[in-house]
Structure 1
Amino acid sequence: MDIVQFTAEDEAMFPVLGPEYGASNRLAEAMTAKFNEEHLKPLVESVADAFREKLWDDVRDWLLADTEQNVAGAVRDMVGQTIDALLTGKEWAMARYPYADYSRGEEIRKAVARHAGDTMLTRRVAELEAEVAKRDETIRYLRDSRY
């Protein structure tokens, strides 16, 4: 194993870097002298194949999950828009659901009347009374503040 032994030449040629610099270069040259690219190619191909498969699996899984979330979000958005259209009285939603002439329309009208009936009317009347009171107060303030 005199390949890894420090020589007098190593000590003389590499006084700053040290004799290990020359010895390590000799060792590396000796080890790679009989080595060629054919030894590395199967290893690199194996690593590249494994990386490619892992990358594809991760990208595929991410794309599928992202697409699924986008579709679910679109469905939630459509449901929300439909509910909003019904609660704000959009003509298309009212015609499609509570005003419909088919049997579900009658069922929906009964359910709305049963669930909303007096409670909904009482709340709306209270809101309107509060609005009128606020307007009356504003009118009084504006009348009293005239100069």
Structure 2
Amino acid sequence: MTLMLHMGGEAIDFDELRNLPTPDPTASHVPLPHHSVVDMVRNALGFFGHELLEEHHAVTPDGMNYFGVLSLRSPYADYTDMVGLRNSHKKQFPIDIAIGSRVFVYDNLAFHADHVIRLKHTANAKRDLPGLVSEVIEPLHLARRG
């Protein structure tokens, strides 16, 4: 699990993440709270039986950009998958979710994994995000299970 913080990102625990403010939406940008992105991904992963082993979260000093990694154990085999997350309230990048056996998240905006989901901050993001995560997790789940 790799979360690199060398460009000003600061480690933060999940409870602190919940307390960060979220900017008001505009006509073209509807930001999701950082903690909501994490919660939606956790819920989708839990649906397919993944156990959260470890998590690390970070934000830029102004709290406007979020970076995180989650380590998961499958109930079907002895393997660990990783999930990388990032979210920006400054319109620097979309909601990004990286899933795979190796994930790299860096606060200089480097972001890499086997599968990457990108979702613009629109009015439909909250509705669409769980389904998009499930579309990537379900094939992993089925491949490892069989």
Q: What is the TM-score when the length of structure 1 is the normalising length?
A: 0.18
Higher relative contact order (CA 8 A, sep 6+): 2
**More helix per residue:** 1
Give the TM-score taking structure 2 as reference length: 0.18
Larger Rg: 1
Structure with greater proportional strand content? 2
